[in-house]
C-alpha cells in the first residue's frame, strides 16, 4: 500500500509498505480521506527539524472497514467509519482498536467525516462554558474556529460576533449564522464590541488563531468576570499575557484542548452524531483536495493559505 511520511522539513516521500494486519481487537480501515491538520504544519515548516526516521503522520481519517479482528463485535466489512488515531493516516490502510472507530451515516461524504478535528471542536465547545443567552466573540474563523462556532451556536449563544482578517470569511460567517462580522484589520475593534454589548464586553471570547495579537485582543474584548477560551493551537515559542488585566477583571481562562484519548473519542461520538443529523455543517469548510502523491502540494497550500482556502484533504479512491 502507499503511505506518505515526512522525511525532512518541507518534504514528504511516498512509500510502498505492507498493509497492516489487525490484531484481535482491531479494525482495518481502508482510508478514503485524511485531513491536513494545522498542528502538522509546524513540523513541515520547521527547518531545524531533524528526521532520523520517516514520520508517518496524519490523524484526521475516515474510510471503509476492510477487515476486523476476531474479538471485534461492533463493526463489519463495508461499514463507513471515522477513527481516532495519532499517526499513520496518510496511507491507504490503517489498523486501530475497535473503541477508536465510529460509524458515519451513508449520506455523509468521507471528506467531511473528519472525526478528530470535529472531536476537538466539540470538546472545546463543552469546555467553553457558553450558556444560553451569552454573547460570544469568536476571534479567528478558520476551519477549527468555524467548527467550534457551530458548537456554541447549538449551546444557545444569543449573539455571536466573529473577527477575522480575510474578506471571504465574511461570506462564511453569513453561512454559519454569525450575527456580526468584524474585519480584524479595522480600527477600534474594542469600541465596536463594547457598542454591541451595551458597554460591557463579551461574556465569552474564544481565541482560535494560535497567535499572540488575537490573544491580546481577547483580553480587551471580554467583560469583567467573563471568560477567555484559548482554543487556538499555539506553536512557535512562548506567549505573553496581561496578567494584571486578567486579575483585575477577575477572568476565567480555559485552555480548551483535550489530550486524553477516551475524552477525544467521546467528543468524536458527539460530533459525528451532529454531523449524521445534519446539525453540523462541514461542506463550506473543506475546500481543497489532493491525492497521496500530491501531499507536498497539499501542505504547501495549507501553509500559504491562498484566497478561498480553509481546509485541505488527502483523498484516496473509494
Q: Are residues 212 and 146 in the same domain?
A: yes
Tell me, yes or no, whether 83 and 129 share the same domain: no
Q: How far apart are CA 117 and CA 84, in angstroms?
A: 10
Question: Which residue, 255, 273, 295, sits at the end of a domain?
Answer: 255
Asked if residue 265 belongs to a domain, the reply is: no
- If asked whether residues 8 and 125 sit together in one domain, one would say no
Which CATH number belongs to the domain containing residue 199 in this structure? 3.40.50.720
- CA-to-CA distance for 21 and 1, rounded, in angstroms? 12
Q: Domain ends where: 204, 238, 255?
A: 255
pLDDT at 310 over 80: yes
pLDDT of residue 238: 93
Kindly state the percentage of the chain with pLDDT values over 70: 100
Q: Residue 107: pLDDT band by 50, 70, 90 thresholds?
A: very high
pTM: 0.94
Taking residues 289-318, what's their average pLDDT?
A: 96
pLDDT of residue 237: 85
- Is 271 part of a structural domain of the chain? no
Residue 98 has pLDDT above 90, yes or no: yes
- Strand partners for 35: 313
Q: Among 234, 255, 276, give the residue marking a domain's end.
A: 255
Q: Is 78's pLDDT higher than 80?
A: yes
> Is the predicted pLDDT of residue 187 greater than 90, yes or no?
no
What's the pLDDT at 43? 87
Answer yes or no: are the C-beta atoms of 189 and 164 closer than 8 Å. no
121-132 pLDDT per residue, tens: 999 999 999 999
Cα separations (Å) of 268 from 61, 101, 121, 142, 162? Answer: 12, 10, 9, 20, 25
Is pLDDT at 281 greater than 80 in this prediction?
Answer: yes
Residues 126 and 106 in one domain: no
Structural domain count, the chain? 2
Q: Are residues 78 and 125 in the same domain?
A: no
Instruction: Look up residue 36 and give its three cell numbers.
Output: 491536513
CATH code, domain with 100? 3.90.180.10
Between vectors from CA 93 to CA 92 and to CA 97, what angle results, nearest 5°?
A: 155
Whether residues 200 and 144 share a domain: the answer is yes
Separation of alpha carbons 82 and 64, rounded Å: 8
Domain extent for 159: 121-255
CB 60 within 8 A of CB 286: no
- Do residue 110 and residue 126 come from a single domain? no
**Claim to verify: residue 185 and residue 75 sit in the same structural domain:** no
Is residue 197 included in any domain, yes or no? yes
Quick: pLDDT tens for 238-250.
999 999 999 999 9
User: What pLDDT does residue 122 have?
Assistant: 96
Give the per-residue pLDDT at 259: 85
Same domain for 219 and 296?
Answer: no
- Least Cα distance to 265 among 94, 140, 84 occurs for 84
Q: Residue 89 pLDDT > 90, yes or no?
A: yes
What are the helix (H) ranges across the chain?
38-45, 115-128, 143-154, 168-175, 189-196, 212-221, 243-249, 261-276, 295-304
Segment 7-60, tens digit of pLDDT? 999 999 999 999 999 999 999 999 999 999 998 998 888 877 788 899 999 999
The pLDDT, as a whole number, for residue 178 is 96
109 and 134 both lie in a single domain: no
| Cell numbers describing residue 256 | 480548551
Does residue 226 form part of some domain?
yes
* CA atoms of 255 and 257, how far apart (whole Å): 6
Mean pLDDT rounded to a whole number for the chain? 95
The answer to whether position 19 is within a domain reads: yes
β-strand partners of 254: 229
* pLDDT digits 0-9 by tens, 188-206: 999 999 999 999 999 999 9
The answer to whether position 142 is within a domain reads yes
Whole-number pLDDT of residue 167: 83
Measured CA to CA in angstroms, residue 297 lies from 43, 300, 303, 304 at distances of 15, 5, 10, 10
Residue 213 lies in a domain: yes
Amino acid at each position: 500500500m502507499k503511505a506518505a511520511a515526512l522525511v525532512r522539513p518541507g518534504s514528504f516521500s511516498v512509500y510502498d509498505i505492507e498493509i497492516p494486519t489487525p490484531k484481535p481487537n482491531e479494525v482495518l480501515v481502508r482510508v478514503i480521506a485524511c485531513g491536513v491538520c494545522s498542528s502538522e504544519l509546524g513540523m513541515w515548516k520547521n527547518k531545524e527539524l531533524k528526521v532520523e526516521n520517516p514520520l508517518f503522520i496524519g490523524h484526521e481519517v475516515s474510510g471503509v472497514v476492510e477487515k476486523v479482528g476476531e474479538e471485534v463485535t461492533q463493526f463489519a466489512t463495508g461499514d463507513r467509519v471515522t477513527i481516532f488515531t495519532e499517526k499513520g493516516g496518510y496511507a491507504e490502510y490503517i489498523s486501530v482498536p475497535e473503541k477508536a472507530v465510529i460509524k458515519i451515516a451513508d449520506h455523509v461524504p468521507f471528506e467531511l467525516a473528519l472525526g478528530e478535528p470535529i472531536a476537538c471542536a466539540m470538546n472545546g465547545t463543552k469546555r467553553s462554558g457558553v450558556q444560553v443567552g451569552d454573547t460570544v466573540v469568536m476571534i479567528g474563523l478558520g476551519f477549527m474556529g468555524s467548527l467550534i462556532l457551530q458548537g456554541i451556536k447549538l449551546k444557545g449563544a444569543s449573539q455571536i460576533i466573529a473577527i477575522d482578517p480575510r474578506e471571504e470569511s465574511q461570506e462564511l460567517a453569513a453561512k454559519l449564522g454569525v450575527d456580526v462580522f468584524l474585519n480584524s484589520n479595522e480600527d477600534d475593534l474594542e469600541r465596536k464590541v463594547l457598542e454591541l454589548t451595551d458597554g460591557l464586553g463579551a461574556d465569552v471570547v474564544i481565541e482560535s488563531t494560535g497567535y499572540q495579537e488575537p490573544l491580546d485582543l481577547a483580553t480587551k474584548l471580554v467583560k469583567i468576570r467573563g471568560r477567555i477560551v484559548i482554543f487556538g493551537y499555539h506553536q512557535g515559542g512562548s506567549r505573553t499575557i496581561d496578567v494584571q488585566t486578567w486579575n483585575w477583571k477577575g477572568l476565567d481562562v480555559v485552555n480548551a484542548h483535550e489530550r486524553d484519548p477516551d475524552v477525544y473519542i467521546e467528543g468524536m461520538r458527539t460530533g459525528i452524531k451532529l454531523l449524521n443529523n445534519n446539525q453540523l455543517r462541514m461542506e463550506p469548510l473543506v475546500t481543497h483536495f489532493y491525492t497521496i502523491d500530491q501531499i507536498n502540494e497539499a501542505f504547501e497550500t495549507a501553509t500559504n493559505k491562498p484566497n478561498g482556502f480553509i481546509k485541505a484533504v488527502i483523498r484516496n479512491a473509494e
